[in-house]
């Protein structure tokens, strides 16, 4: 039964505090019929029904998995509460305290359930178009715009200037630009981090040197620019380059020739140049740290990668991506993140951006022993910083609108028949086939389809698949 005593005693008009619409189910069959017609946000279940010999609570939990079930009891003893939680209850509320506590419990349960549904939608969108070029992950509108720009510019030789905070993925964008370009088949991408090479050695690193050109130059050295011939040269942290060397780089970009340190031969190079900085480029120009003429020469196509805190809708898909990748690396398998663990990740500001999230997930994978990521596995400083914070639903709602727009395309064709099938029918057939191939093992079928176990059970219920 779904909250029979609550409905009869506190809800004569069918609503709870004008916030919840309640449907009464007076028997096990009524409940199963109601669930077949529509999935509610939360189930209220009488303790007597939960403890009944037909084990309604664990069956409901098994069928709907993450759908929260709140149990109502006269004066629940510890043993009853423990058993209900073991059987899958979200919470147990005493009828004596229900008027004061129940509304808040339902709000929390509903908010968590809706958040999980939205996260599942983000995950499914990620599987459809949230990964770009084999490296970049994100479903936010900002990332979609970046993907669009990359797709347009990758086939050209135009210089690209990447900006964004440390850890946002500038090097991944550079690699994607190269891998989607015609240069991939004839040359390599050569990366130079201008911040990690001493200033007096950077010129030799870029242009190479001749034997005997300075103390310690015992042989000729081929520089990075020459190594990037027919490929791509990626200059990371360009603002850390000495201004005097910037003038030589500008000449190289204009003439596509250079001389090695200590040499006189002009060496021609055909390369595409991508530069990046974690600073604000124009501010560095104003400070005199970046030559203005060099900046405009490099800034043919600017791409700014926003920090993770400005696109929190990418956090769930990035987290799941890293969880799968590191789970495979460390020979572990995980189903999902618990709602509270996901809330913590969504609320954290991630000052280290995607790099910090990636390292956090790897640490979690190494330390985890179960198959679900729970809050206790999150670093303590992150748990403390996000205590009591609300997940940024507004950004997720915007992402879901973007996802809905992306689905407004041609429906896929039926295999070999020439007929056009609705997307739901294609999905239903794929699920039936997967379950058949794995002899009814839903977990393996879900894993093969790239779905979480919770999403798989919801889809089985949706399509009436036994």
What digits encode the pLDDT tens for the residues 304-349?
A: 999 999 998 899 889 988 998 999 899 888 877 887 888 899 899 9
What digits encode the pLDDT tens for the residues 21-45?
A: 788 887 777 877 777 677 788 888 8
Indicate whether 85 belongs to any domain.
yes
Q: Are residues 162 and 295 in the same domain?
A: yes
Q: Are residues 276 and 149 in the same domain?
A: yes
Q: Are residues 149 and 298 in the same domain?
A: yes
From the list 162, 164, 166, 251, the residue with the least C-alpha distance to 206 is 251
Q: Are residues 33 and 157 in the same domain?
A: no
Each as own residue / partner, the long-range contacts of residues 432-438 (CB below 8 Å, 24 or more positions apart, any chain) are 432/463, 432/465, 435/460, 435/465
The pLDDT score that the predictor gives to residue 364 is 96
Domain extent for 446: 410-463
The pLDDT score that the predictor gives to residue 268 is 96
Dihedrals φ, ψ of 423, to 5°? -60, -40
Least confident among 203-212, 269-278, 409-418, 457-466 = 409-418
Enclosing H/E stretch for 401: helix 393-406
Last residue of a domain, one of 37, 70, 96: 96
Last residue of a domain, one of 288, 308, 328: 308
Indicate whether 109 belongs to any domain.
no
Residue 256, phi-psi category: left (phi > 0), alpha (psi -120 to 50), beta (remainder): left
Domain total for the chain? Answer: 3
69-73: strand order across its sheet: 43-46, 69-73, 91-94
CATH (domain of 22): 3.40.50.2300
Indicate whether 248 belongs to any domain.
yes
What dihedral angle (degrees, nearest 10) is formed by the CA atoms of 61, 67, 72, 75?
Answer: 70
Q: Is the pLDDT of residue 130 over 90?
A: no
Q: Distance between CA atoms of 26 and 273, rounded to whole angstroms?
A: 70
pLDDT-derived band at 127 (thresholds 50, 70, 90) equals low
């Amino acid at each position: 039964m779904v909250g029979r005593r609550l409905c009869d005693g506190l809800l004569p008009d069918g609503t709870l505090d004008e916030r919840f619409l309640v449907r009464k189910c007076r028997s096990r069959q009524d409940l199963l019929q109601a669930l077949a017609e529509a999935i509610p946000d939360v189930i209220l279940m009488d303790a007597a029904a939960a403890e009944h010999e037909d084990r309604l609570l664990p069956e409901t939990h098994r069928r709907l998995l993450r759908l929260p079930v709140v149990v109502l009891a006269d004066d629940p003893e510890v043993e009853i509460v423990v058993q209900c939680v073991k059987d899958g209850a979200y919470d147990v509320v005493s009828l004596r305290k229900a008027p004061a506590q129940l509304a808040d419990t339902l709000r929390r349960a509903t908010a968590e359930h809706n958040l999980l549904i939205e996260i599942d939608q983000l995950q499914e969108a990620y599987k459809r178009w949230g990964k770009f070029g084999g490296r970049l992950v994100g479903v936010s509108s900002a990332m979609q715009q970046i993907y669009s720009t990359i797709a347009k510019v990758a086939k050209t030789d135009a210089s690209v200037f990447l900006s964004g905070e440390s850890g946002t993925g500038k090097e991944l964008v550079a690699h994607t630009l190269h891998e989607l370009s015609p240069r991939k088949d004839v040359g390599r991408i050569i990366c130079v981090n201008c911040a990690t090479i001493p200033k007096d050695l950077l010129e030799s690193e870029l242009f190479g040197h001749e034997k005997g050109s300075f103390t310690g130059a015992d042989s000729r050295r081929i520089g990075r620019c020459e190594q990037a011939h027919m490929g791509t040269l990626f200059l990371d942290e360009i603002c850390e380059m000495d201004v005097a060397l910037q003038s030589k780089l500008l000449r190289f970009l204009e003439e596509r020739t250079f001389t090695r340190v200590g040499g006189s031969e002009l060496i021609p190079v055909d390369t595409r140049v991508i530069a990046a900085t974690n600073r604000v480029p124009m501010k560095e120009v104003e400070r005199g740290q970046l030559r203005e003429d060099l900046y405009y020469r490099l800034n043919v196509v600017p791409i700014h990668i926003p920090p993770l805190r400005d696109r929190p809708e990418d956090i769930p898909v990035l987290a799941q991506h890293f969880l799968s990748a590191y789970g495979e690396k460390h020979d572990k398998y995980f189903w999902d993140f618990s709602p509270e663990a996901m809330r913590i990740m969504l609320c954290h500001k991630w000052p280290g951006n995607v790099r910090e999230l990636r390292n956090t997930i790897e640490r979690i994978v190494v330390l985890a022993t179960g198959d679900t990521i729970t809050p206790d596995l999150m670093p303590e400083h992150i748990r403390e910083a996000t205590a009591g914070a609300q997940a940024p639903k507004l950004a997720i709602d915007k992402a879901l609108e973007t996802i809905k727009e992306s689905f407004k395309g041609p429906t896929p064709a039926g295999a070999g028949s020439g007929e056009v099938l609705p997307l739901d029918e294609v999905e239903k057939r794929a699920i039936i086939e997967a379950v058949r191939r794995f002899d009814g093992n839903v977990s393996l079928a879900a894993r093969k389809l790239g779905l979480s176990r919770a999403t798989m059970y919801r889809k089985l219920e949706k399509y009436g698949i036994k």
